[in-house]
Amino acid sequence: MRLVLFLCVALAATPVLAAAPLTDEARWWGHVETLAGPEFEGRLTGSPGHARAAAYAAERFKTYGLEPAGTEGYLQPVTFVVQKVDAARSGVALVAGTETRALEVGPDIILGSRIPQLPVVEAPLVFIGYGLHLPEIGVDDFAGQDLRGKIAVYMNGGPGEISAALKSHSRGVQTWRAAQAAGAIGLISLSSPKTAEVPWARTIENSIQPGMYPVDPALQEAGAPKFSASFNPATAQKLFARSGHSFAEVVALADAAKPMAGFDLKVGLKANVASTVSETTSQNVVARLPGSDPKLAAEHVVITAHIDHLGLNETGKGPAYYPGAMDNASGVASVLEVARQMASAKVKPKRSVLFVLVTAEEKGLLGSKYFAERPTVPKASVVANLNMDMALPLWPLTSVIVLGVDESTLGDAARAAAKSQGLDLVADPYPDRNSFIRSDQYSFIRAGVPALAFKFGFKPGTPEAEIERAWRSNRYHGLADDLSQPVERAEAVKFNAYMAAVVLQAANASTRPAWKDASFFKRFAD
């Protein structure tokens, strides 16, 4: 409605301007403006604003002439359990003998909401070093640990000799599985202040948000309820006070990527976790461009971007909602632009292309996980995933970062496309951020599908690196990821052209992409 009204006014006022065709730049930015605008209220998974954003994208796909490929037209509804932890009604304390030391929920500890929380817990705390479970390379911080009925405390990171891919993989579900197998009833994660991507104050703000997990038990990975939390590095010494060790010593080892052993923290944790549970349904949006080759058209290259973001601002301070202009209205706008251009091109790709805008990325990659496990096309026909999440068009595009480029033959498509567009490929400047497993491509990787993720390139120590650093510290998951930030729209158009070129390379290749034999991620395809 807003858009229609705008067009009418524009037509009446400036007929010459309105009649001129939109430039690619204006089209891309128009999507960003609309998606990050007030109508969609920050696109929280399950919210009316998200549903309107999904409808907007579906309408665009329809206009471009793409096939609806969801389960309800262009939409694939997905239902989640919503768990809202009430910090004000929850209490956490450290207990040693008869001594109890209360912790502040928020400033000290943030209670997790992404897996079912235990309402009441009292258990000893054990530090387990990095909490890595990688038996394939002989590293297992859980080995020989009796964690029955205990809460395991671990430090993010890992020894330098272990590849970033392995360290990344061993996080999340893998850490839970290993902890569970060792009998633990909970996990507390710690991080070095050096690796903190956002200030703790913003982490507290974001923790007001409810967590979610799939309603479908087959897709729930953590199993039975567990205590889960993360601890503020600034106050984490409280956990170590009685152990004969210090948090500073743990941080020093982690910062130097040195091995570290676990030890008993000689303190217990007591918690009442007040939470409410409900259900919500949100939408993946799926459109299909049929391939031109009689045989290869049965296979699908899937290009993705998450359409959800953080929704309304419930802190009571500042703007009404989180715009998420870069995270990830920009990626959705790019998918829409690649879709429009490919649909209107005379020569169609040989394989079919699926354009998928996934929900619930911010809730733990849940929409993409659902799609990867329950695709709307035959599962075996999904041959590749290309994902965009915060590509950051904030400086000139002279190079691209392609996460996963050495893991599969799909990387060859990304390289060939870069060459055709005159772009360099640069290495991930921050492998320890675990970016390859931190966005929706990982859902496809775990389903066995070769995948890549794409960002604007930059090198450490350059002005671009400083722009990136400042963006993370000032805007990432904050209210300032808005439409007033300086976005390089013309560079985004070049990036879209690059993405279209990668899709074409992958869709036209004679053989379907495969994981390299040496790739750690190949295991999911076997």
Mask for 350-369, x = binds Zn ion (CB under 5 A)? ------------x-------
For residue 201, which of 44, 326, 317 has the smallest C-alpha distance? 317
Nearer to Zn ion among residue 155 and residue 388 (C-beta): 388
Helix residue ranges per DSSP H, 96-193: 164-169, 173-181
- CA-CA distance, 29 to 344, in Å (whole number)? 19
Instruction: Mark the segment that binds Zn ion (CB under 5 A) among 217-225, 246-254, 319-327, 430-438.
Output: 319-327
Nearer to Zn ion among residue 70 and residue 172 (C-beta): 172
Indicate which single residue of 108, 327, 464, 481 sits in contact with Zn ion (rule: CB under 5 A): 327
Applying the rule CB under 5 A, the residues between 201 and 220 that interact with Zn ion are none
- The C-alpha R_g of the chain, in whole angstroms, comes to 23
- CA-CA distance, 370 to 77, in Å (whole number)? 10
We find the least distance from the C-beta atom of residue 308 to Zn ion, in angstroms, to be 9
Nearer to Zn ion among residue 438 and residue 516 (C-beta): 438
* Contact indicator for 28, 36 with CB cutoff of 8 Å: no
Instruction: Mark the segment that binds Zn ion (CB under 5 A) among 96-104, 148-156, 322-330, 441-449.
Output: 322-330
Instruction: Mark the segment that binds Zn ion (CB under 5 A) among 282-290, 324-332, 464-472, 504-512.
Output: 324-332
Nearer to Zn ion among residue 49 and residue 349 (C-beta): 49
For residue 69, which of 389, 352, 294 has the smallest C-alpha distance? 352
We find the least distance from the C-beta atom of residue 175 to Zn ion, in angstroms, to be 21
Nearer to Zn ion among residue 205 and residue 362 (C-beta): 362
Is residue 308 near Zn ion by the rule CB under 5 A? no
We find the least distance from the C-beta atom of residue 213 to Zn ion, in angstroms, to be 18
Q: Select the residue whose beta carbon is closest to Zn ion and give its number.
A: 327
Residue with tokens 């104050």: 201
Nearer to Zn ion among residue 235 and residue 473 (C-beta): 473
The pairing of beta strand 263-272 with beta strand 186-190 = unpaired
**Counts for the chain of helices (H) and strands (E), in that order:** 15, 20
We find the least distance from the C-beta atom of residue 327 to Zn ion, in angstroms, to be 4
- Rounded to the nearest 5 percent, the helix, strand and coil shares of the chain are 35, 25, 40
Interface size with Zn ion, residues (CB under 5 A): 2
The pairing of beta strand 263-272 with beta strand 120-127 = antiparallel
CA 123 to mean position of chain CA atoms? 32
Nearer to Zn ion among residue 362 and residue 440 (C-beta): 362
We find the least distance from the C-beta atom of residue 464 to Zn ion, in angstroms, to be 21
Q: At what angle are helices 24-35 and 330-344 packed, to 10 degrees?
A: 140
Nearer to Zn ion among residue 26 and residue 196 (C-beta): 196
CA 100 to mean position of chain CA atoms? 38
We find the least distance from the C-beta atom of residue 160 to Zn ion, in angstroms, to be 28
For residue 128, which of 230, 4, 262 has the smallest C-alpha distance? 262
Binding site for Zn ion (CB under 5 A): 327, 362
